[in-house]
């Protein structure tokens, strides 16, 4: 395996992970600034930042469905060590932000644009004007939100954006794909209150074996232990409305590629089982027609969570991001 201690970029490695997650990472995490912001949509969102007076560049991170800032402590640490100030927040309905449904851990949203409006409010609250460079990094659903934000907010503060395993479509059976959005819409109309989409259920701690997210046992088990120890972080399967709204937003993201004017890097997981890789290829090929500053990188063998994978895949991902943002 590549020795990153001699490389220009250095990251936490799996053999040292258990030690790092007990000492240097939480020590830095304790130095964070955090709080709550009430958005224009009257939702209370959790935000956090890790900053240093010596840093002149910033990364804003938009996480995926069911994720939260707490899960990203290792990544925040690694980017902070590279000289970045790091900002992030929990989307409404997950993490430490306000939930949409009070008596359930169902993943729900009224309008997908609510996520985008939230992102705009939170980013406006961060003091990003003092940085020489600002970058946006997003994963999965967070990439859909980030894409729609860039497409609808041309005065945004970002110089470049990286989308990791973006949700521009979901990995459903081929015969279900054309009607998935219609099914979600129909089921939403049928049920008066938020209802799990077909095949979805409340949160449960899925074992590492046969998981579709990561090959890294140590990182995966740490994430599950974090959620098992903090039930308030847990988010179950998506609602029918979330599926309908998510697929509509994914479609809009592909339709409006010409509205993305900044350099973009799309990182695809080679062993993807959650989102649609075909939709990502469709997005990047369409974007290339109007934006020459876009790049596409496949992390061969990686599962969906490229930022939480085994070192073999995660190091490649972080190298690609750091080189692109440099």
- Answer yes or no: is pLDDT of 6 > 60: no
Q: Is 266 exposed, middle or buried (0-12, 13-18, 19+ CB in 10 A)?
A: buried
pLDDT for the residue numbered 5: 40
Q: Which tens digit of pLDDT belongs to each residue from 83-126? A: 999 999 999 999 999 998 877 799 999 899 999 999 999 999 99
pLDDT for the residue numbered 177: 53
Q: Which tens digit of pLDDT belongs to each residue from 31-48? A: 999 999 999 999 999 999
Pick the closest to residue 147 from 104, 112, 107 (CA basis): 112
With beta carbons less than 8 A apart as the criterion, state whether 46 and 90 touch: yes
pLDDT for the residue numbered 4: 43
> pTM score, two decimals?
0.93
Locate the domains of the chain by residue range.
14-325
Q: Which tens digit of pLDDT belongs to each residue from 280-294? A: 999 999 999 999 999
Tokens of 158: 């970002």
Name the E strands within 187-250. Answer: none
**What percent of the chain is modeled with pLDDT above 70?**
91
Q: Which tens digit of pLDDT belongs to each residue from 142-181? A: 999 999 999 999 999 999 999 999 999 988 654 345 546 5
Confidence category of residue 190, pLDDT binned at 50, 70, 90: low
pLDDT for the residue numbered 298: 98
Q: Which tens digit of pLDDT belongs to each residue from 223-258? A: 999 999 999 999 999 998 999 899 999 999 999 999
Pairing outcome for strands 264-269 and 160-164: parallel
**What percent of the chain is modeled with pLDDT above 90?**
83
Q: Is the CATH number of domain 14-325 3.40.50.2300? A: no
**What is the four-CA torsion angle of 200, 191, 41, 232, rounded to 10 degrees?**
-40
pLDDT for the residue numbered 171: 82
Confidence category of residue 139, pLDDT binned at 50, 70, 90: very high
């Amino acid at each position: 395996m590549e020795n990153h201690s001699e490389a220009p970029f250095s990251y936490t490695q799996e053999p040292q992970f258990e030690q790092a997650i007990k000492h240097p990472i939480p020590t830095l995490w304790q130095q964070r600034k955090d709080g709550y912001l009430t958005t224009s949509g009257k939702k209370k969102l959790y935000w956090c930042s890790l900053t240093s007076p010596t840093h002149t560049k910033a990364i804003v991170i938009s996480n995926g469905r069911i994720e939260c800032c707490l899960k990203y402590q290792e990544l925040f640490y690694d980017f902070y060590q590279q000289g970045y100030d790091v900002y992030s927040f929990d989307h409404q309905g997950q993490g430490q932000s306000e939930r949409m449904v009070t008596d359930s851990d169902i993943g729900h949203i009224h309008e997908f644009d609510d996520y985008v409006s939230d992102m705009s409010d939170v980013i406006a609250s961060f003091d990003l004007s003092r940085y020489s460079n600002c970058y946006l990094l997003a994963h999965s659903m967070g990439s859909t939100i980030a894409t729609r934000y860039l497409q609808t907010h041309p005065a945004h503060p970002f110089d470049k954006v990286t989308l990791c395993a973006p949700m521009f479509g979901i990995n459903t059976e081929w015969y279900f794909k054309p009607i998935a959005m219609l099914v979600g819409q129909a089921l939403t109309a049928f049920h008066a209150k938020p209802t799990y989409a077909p095949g979805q259920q409340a949160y449960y701690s899925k074992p590492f074996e046969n998981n579709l997210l990561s090959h890294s046992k140590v990182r995966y088990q740490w994430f599950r232990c974090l959620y098992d120890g903090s039930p308030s972080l847990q988010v179950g399967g998506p609602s029918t409305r979330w599926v309908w709204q998510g697929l509509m937003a994914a479609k809009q993201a592909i339709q409006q590629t010409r509205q993305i004017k900044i350099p973009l890097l799309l990182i695809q997981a080679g062993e993807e089982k959650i989102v649609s890789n075909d939709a990502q290829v469709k997005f990047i090929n369409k974007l290339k027609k109007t934006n020459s500053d876009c790049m596409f990188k496949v992390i061969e063998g990686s599962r969906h969570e490229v930022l939480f994978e085994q070192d073999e895949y995660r190091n490649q991902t972080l190298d690609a991001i750091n080189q692109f943002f440099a």
